[in-house]
Amino acid sequence: VSYLRRAIIDGKYNDAAHYLDVQFRLFREDLISPLRDGIAVYKRNGTTRCQKVTVGEDQITSDLLIFEIEGLEGVQVRGIDGTLCRYATLTAESRSDPALSRNLMFGQIVCLSSDGFNEDMHLAKIVEREQTEENGSIAFTILDENGDIVKDRPYKIAEPQSYLVAYQHVLSALKSFSAYNPIPFERYIVYGKCDVRKPVYMRIEENVEDIVEDSEIS
């Protein structure tokens, strides 16, 4: 687990950089933890959805979905965008799973494993699934592609309920803020000020000195 700090709900942050660091780490953990914890539950119980296990003093509940593929093909180049990918076919059992219609969406991050998520694990991004419900065809980009994927070997797909596409834009936005420029509403969300002041564009008739003084954090 990466280094995490609690969000401050009673008090203030040290500065904008402190606020952004805390929020980014918490948001990233919210994306990653369902996959990590779900795999931990699967390895202990051999099953996934709505299962619970106790690890130390913590109780982990899994919302992980497991699908199976008959085997991955070799690396290919998608004609549409030049993406390197591998095609695969879901097993008949996975194709008949009612959850398929609303899962394994384009852009989702999944984990592939041929040994029950013990030693052989690969993060992959779904890049094509137009024919998945019709004939079970699906395409992945392996994020750690290094040639150790074995063709035609059965793999399990672990999919968390956290959807990467919904998170990546927020995470990218948090990383885009500069430490040298104030972030929006910094006075309130970073320093916890409760006296709400009008924005500058609504106070154009005030003296410049008053606006500058009023914009100070203190």
Nearest to 155 by CA among 69, 73, 54, 79: 69
pLDDT band at 56 (very low <50, low <70, confident <90, very high): low
Sorting pLDDT into bands at 50, 70 and 90, what band is 140?
very high
pLDDT higher than threshold 70 for residue 1 = no
What pTM did the predictor assign?
Answer: 0.76
- 216 confidence band (pLDDT: 50, 70, 90): low
Query: Could you give the domains of the chain?
Result: 10-51+162-197 (no CATH), 65-159 (2.40.30.230)
Residue with tokens 């003296």: 207
C-alpha–C-alpha distance, residues 82 and 135, integer Å: 23
Residue 67 pLDDT > 90, yes or no? Answer: yes
Average pLDDT over residues 120-149: 87
What does the alpha-carbon distance between residue 192 and residue 52 come to, in Å, rounded to a whole number? 38
Cα 69 to Cα 54, 77, 104, 172: the distances in Å are 30, 20, 12, 32
Which is more confident, 132 or 112?
A: 112
CA distance 138 to 116: 20
pLDDT digits (tens, 9 = 90+) for 171-208: 999 999 987 888 989 989 999 988 888 777 777 666 65
Terminal Cα-to-Cα distance of the chain (whole angstroms): 36
User: CA angle 121-126-131, nearest 5°?
Assistant: 125
